[in-house]
């Protein structure tokens, strides 16, 4: 299958270091198996590479070579590598002998090729190019190995700041947080959708799970997907995660059209945390992550596992059997698992379901930390406070998509501005009082001595209302602007549906 997509290039910078008074013989630099240049000691070679997964190795003419280092390149990144002849250890005789013997069986141990530290890389100039990208199921499996860890360890400097402020230290361990923040992504303001859903529907026989759902999720956005039980949220996630085939409609997930033949490639670029973390209880935390790292094709996952565990504050529990963990800790392991593959989109299905408030708070902090890092998160939840706190935008689904937007926009759409007036005693004639005010459109009593006044502009109306109340001798307890929560929006929309069904 061929799709035309606009992509940008990344830059790979390979430097040859090492002691020596002369430049020595040139070494060949091979990208994805093809020789793309040569390097003498002290030289640096820059290569423009398309985004995606690549393999790099360096070899001396003859038999000496470095291992192939797979890495993932993202748009605009500069990924630095250093190569040098393997240093000798003259004083560690035994180790040298062991290494020498081992070297007889492998020619890849003579040259080291390592990613540069994050500080040595910087933001790349982004070169816009249009190219035809092959998106096919035959795409070779991801070799997102330890040097894929480029994302984590080779490091990419920030291309965009976090609009939400400081990183939450409670959620992310210091080391892991640093590792995670080394790979910030561009944020929603980039306007690049990583998830595009158009008229997607799924029916199981005569039952409709969801119908004609359309929305876009942008890079770096935390997108809340809300709805009552049975609304089709989980089925939508499963559909976008290629576990379920849609009945009709289309979608693009992480830039790849949703289709059965693209299933492997899509799943390679996303991660899904189902409601239940689904851990192998007889295995340890690290063994669980190691298994999933293997399924994602991570050949040397130790660094990634450590970073993922530290990111969820479980660095010291790696050796614990999962059967001995509490539900909250298991949920955190599940989250660590979704971090392993450095996904373009993370689907979190009810991540705080069944957690106590403290554990839920920790998950919130982690999601917030990931958002600050620029990870795109698709969050399904029942918890409206959670959605309001974490999500940039939310969609409310009740088989069909009821609404979508920023929480503040949804409140403004559904609810007019209002003032809440509380008096010690109920007013004698509130109708006469409030209807005589030019700035009040309508009013209603919401309790004994409590009134809600619909006003076009609370700032203008409040002084006039206060003056009139004082003027009639009312004992005013409070006068404040009414605040509608996302829960109010949700309940309003869902109750409309319930009433419509009754009718």
Partner 1 sequence: MKKLDAFRIRAVVRKELRDYRRKRAIVVSMAVLPVLFLVEPVVTVFLAPTSLTGSSLDQSLILPILYLLLIPTVMPSTLAAYAVAGEREQGTLEPLLTTPIRQQELILGKAAAVMIPTMALSYTVFGLFLAAVALFAHPVIATAFFHEGAELLALFLLAPLLAGWAIVVGMAVSVRASEVRVAQQLGVLASFPPVAVILLLAVGVLHPTFPLALEFAVALLAIDGMALRLTSGMFDRERLVTGSKAS
- Residues forming contacts to partner 1 in the complex (CB under 8 A) are 137-138, 140-142, 203-205, 238, 241-245, 247, 263-265, 267-268, 270-274, 276-283, 287, 291-297, 299, 334, 337
Q: Where do the H-state alpha helices sit in 84-151?
A: 93-105
CB of 324 to partner 1, least distance (A): 13
- Pick the closer one to partner 1 by CB: 69 or 268: 268
- Pick the closer one to partner 1 by CB: 1 or 472: 1
- Pick the closer one to partner 1 by CB: 162 or 211: 211
Q: What's the CA gap between 402 and 233, in Å, rounded?
A: 13
CB of 296 to partner 1, least distance (A): 6
- Pick the closer one to partner 1 by CB: 278 or 456: 278
Element (H, E) at 222: strand 222-226
- Pick the closer one to partner 1 by CB: 68 or 265: 265
Q: What is the largest CA-CA distance in the chain?
A: 100
- Pick the closer one to partner 1 by CB: 210 or 296: 296
- Pick the closer one to partner 1 by CB: 27 or 292: 292
CB of 245 to partner 1, least distance (A): 4
Q: Under DSSP, is residue 216 helix (H, G, I), strand (E, B) or coil? A: strand
CB of 304 to partner 1, least distance (A): 14
- Pick the closer one to partner 1 by CB: 380 or 423: 380
CB of 291 to partner 1, least distance (A): 4
CB of 288 to partner 1, least distance (A): 9
Contact 233, 227 (CB under 8 A): yes
| Residue 407 burial class via C-beta count within 10 angstroms: exposed 0-12, middle 13-18, buried 19 and up | buried
Phi, psi of 469 (to 5 degrees): -65, -45
- Pick the closer one to partner 1 by CB: 53 or 59: 53
Q: Which one, of 383, 257, 314, 321, lies nearest residue 4 by Cα?
A: 257
CB of 258 to partner 1, least distance (A): 13
- Pick the closer one to partner 1 by CB: 191 or 204: 204
352's tokens: 């705080």
Q: What's the CA gap between 211 and 400, in Å, rounded?
A: 5
CB of 2 to partner 1, least distance (A): 18
Phi, psi of 26 (to 5 degrees): -70, 145
- Distance spanning both ends of the chain, measured CA to CA: 48
Strands 44-49 and 345-349: unpaired
Q: Which long-range contacts (CB under 8 A, 24 or more apart) does 273-277 make?
A: 273/334, 273/335, 273/337, 273/338, 273/346, 273/347, 273/348, 273/349, 273/351, 274/234, 274/349, 275/234, 275/349, 275/350, 275/353, 277/330, 277/331, 277/333, 277/334, 277/337
- Pick the closer one to partner 1 by CB: 283 or 412: 283
CB of 150 to partner 1, least distance (A): 19
CB of 85 to partner 1, least distance (A): 29
CB of 146 to partner 1, least distance (A): 14
SS3 sequence, 295-348?
HCCCCCCHHHHHHHHHHCCCHHHCCCEHHHCCHHHHHHHHHHHHHCCCCCEEEE
Q: Which long-range contacts (CB under 8 A, 24 or more apart) does 411-414 make?
A: 411/484, 411/485, 411/486, 411/488, 411/489, 414/484, 414/488, 414/489, 414/492, 414/493
Q: What's the CA gap between 269 and 297, in Å, rounded?
A: 12
């Amino acid at each position: 299958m061929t799709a035309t997509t606009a992509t940008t290039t990344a830059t790979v910078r390979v430097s040859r270091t090492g002691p020596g008074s002369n430049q020595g013989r040139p070494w060949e630099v091979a990208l994805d198996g093809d020789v793309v240049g040569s390097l003498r000691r002290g030289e640096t070679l820059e290569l423009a590479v398309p985004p995606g997964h690549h393999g790099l190795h360096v070899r001396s003419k003859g038999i000496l070579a470095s291992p192939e280092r797979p890495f993932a390149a993202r748009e605009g990144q500069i990924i630095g590598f250093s190569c040098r002849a393997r240093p000798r250890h003259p004083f560690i005789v035994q180790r040298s002998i062991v290494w020498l013997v081992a070297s007889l069986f492998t020619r890849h141990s003579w040259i080291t090729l390592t990613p540069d530290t994050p500080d040595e890389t910087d933001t790349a100039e982004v070169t816009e190019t249009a190219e035809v990208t092959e998106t096919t199921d035959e795409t070779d499996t991801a070799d997102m190995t330890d040097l894929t860890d480029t994302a984590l360890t080779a490091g990419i400097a920030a291309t965009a700041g976090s609009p939400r402020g400081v990183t939450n230290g409670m959620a992310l361990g210091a080391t892991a947080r640093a590792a995670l923040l080394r790979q910030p992504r561009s944020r929603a303001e980039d306007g690049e959708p990583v998830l595009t859903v158009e008229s997607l529907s799924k029916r199981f026989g005569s039952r409709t799970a969801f119908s004609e759902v359309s929305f876009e999720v942008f890079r770096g956005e935390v997108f809340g997907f809300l709805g009552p039980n049975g609304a089709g949220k989980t089925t939508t996630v499963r559909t976008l995660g290629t576990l379920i085939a849609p009945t009709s409609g289309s979608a693009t997930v992480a830039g790849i059209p949703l289709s059965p033949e693209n299933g492997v490639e899509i799943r390679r670029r996303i991660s899904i945390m189902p409601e239940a973390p689904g851990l192998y209880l007889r295995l340890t935390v690290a063994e669980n992550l190691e298994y999933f790292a293997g399924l994602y094709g991570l050949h040397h996952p130790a660094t990634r596992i450590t970073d993922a565990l530290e990111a969820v504050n479980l660095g010291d529990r790696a050796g614990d059997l999962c059967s001995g963990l509490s539900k909250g800790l298991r949920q955190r392991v599940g989250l660590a698992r979704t971090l392993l593959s450095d996904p373009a989109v993370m689907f979190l299905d009810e991540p705080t379901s069944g957690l106590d408030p403290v554990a839920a708070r920790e998950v919130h902090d982690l999601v917030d930390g990931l958002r600050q890092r620029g990870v795109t998160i698709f969050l399904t939840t029942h918890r409206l406070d959670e959605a309001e706190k974490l999500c940039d935008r939310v969609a409310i689904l009740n088989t069909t998509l009821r609404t979508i937007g920023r929480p503040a926009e949804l409140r403004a759409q559904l609810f007019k501005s209002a003032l809440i007036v509380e008096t010690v005693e109920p007013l004698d004639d509130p109708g006469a009082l409030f209807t005589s005010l030019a700035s009040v459109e309508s009013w209603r009593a919401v309790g004994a001595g409590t009134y809600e006044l619909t006003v076009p502009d609370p700032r203008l109306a409040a002084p006039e209302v206060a003056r009139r109340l004082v003027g009639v001798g009312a004992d005013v307890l409070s006068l404040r602007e009414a605040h509608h929560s996302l829960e109010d929006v949700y309940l309003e929309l869902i109750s409309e549906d319930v009433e419509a069904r009754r009718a």
